[in-house]
Amino acid sequence: MFLRIDRLQTELPMPKEADPNAAAALQELLGGKYGEMSTLGNYLFQSFNFRSKSKLKPFYSLVANITAEELGHVELVSTGVAMLNNGPGDPEDYDIGAAPFEDMKDIRLAASFLSNGGGAMPMNSNGASWNMDFVTTTGNVIFDLLHNFHLECGARLHKLRVYETLTDPTGREVCGYLLVRGGVHAHAYALAIKKLTGVEIEKMLPTPNIPTDRIPESAKYLEEGSHRRLYRFSPDDYKEMAGIWGGGEQALPTDPKGTLEVVDGPPEGGKIPELEGTPSAFAPDYAPEEMYEIATKLWKKSR
């Protein structure tokens, strides 16, 4: 089962203005080959299909727990996409007859407005749908862990390239945070392979060699120690992964020094920004004031 918390894993700054083409670039981190839908799908189905769970509990616990974090990463990227598509807010009054959204027909992913109201969808930066062909689950724990290591390394390269195309603080914050957390996951899978085979694959890291300490949005997470932490997304389960992540293991030489640790519970995170509906685009509807009144009454009734 999954426990959902109504917060993002980290706080995102509001965009300076609507930038739907930047949102399209960020879509690659959601529905691209190495995007968060792929990391989630791989670990989710590997955890479902895992054999000998009780005998290989530390390795199952690692994959299952990282799955939960990836759900939050999908939410984080999706929120960033929606924020960039919508911007910090819209004027209250529109003249529908004056084509107030004329510019939207020329954006790279016009369907993100025309069909999805400026929201995120499981697709890449060109609008191609994410698909199950990006998921590998073989039933062989070593092969799956090696695939996961490759996937996380590819995802970090993904994120750097997207970061280097963006100037808005919202998209850059998403990339900066995920670059650090992706490094944690790559390191964790490398250590798991080492425990199983004796091969010191963690010596390959950082692969790719990304100087996260020179990326402001990443450096602050390094300074607070996020690169050393695996969060345990469960009240009581997945404690066995501490045998892989921890136990005197050190942070990578390229990162600030420190001992790896498992933290009970999720990160503190940040509030999910509230995106306002745009009545002239019929979101939430042509009579939003009535809907707001109904929602307010229901909310008061629930208290």
Determine if residue 234 is labeled as part of a ligand binding site: yes
Closest of 71, 20, 23, 271 to residue 171, by C-alpha = 23
Determine if residue 73 is labeled as part of a ligand binding site: yes
Please report, in angstroms and rounded to a whole number, the separation of the first and last CA atoms in the chain.
27
Residues 6+ apart with CB under 8 A from 273: 12, 14, 79, 83
Determine if residue 36 is labeled as part of a ligand binding site: yes
Residues 257-262: contacts with CB within 8 Å, 24+ apart?
Answer: 258/225, 258/228, 259/228, 260/187, 260/228, 260/229, 260/230, 261/228, 261/229, 261/230, 262/229, 262/230, 262/231, 262/232
β-pair partners for 270: 8
> What is the C-alpha separation between 97 and 150, in angstroms, rounded?
52
Determine if residue 150 is labeled as part of a ligand binding site: no
Which residues are annotated as part of the binding site for Mn(2+)? 36, 70, 73, 152, 185
- Binding-site residues for Ca(2+), in ranges, read 234
Known binding-site positions: 36, 70, 73, 152, 185, 234
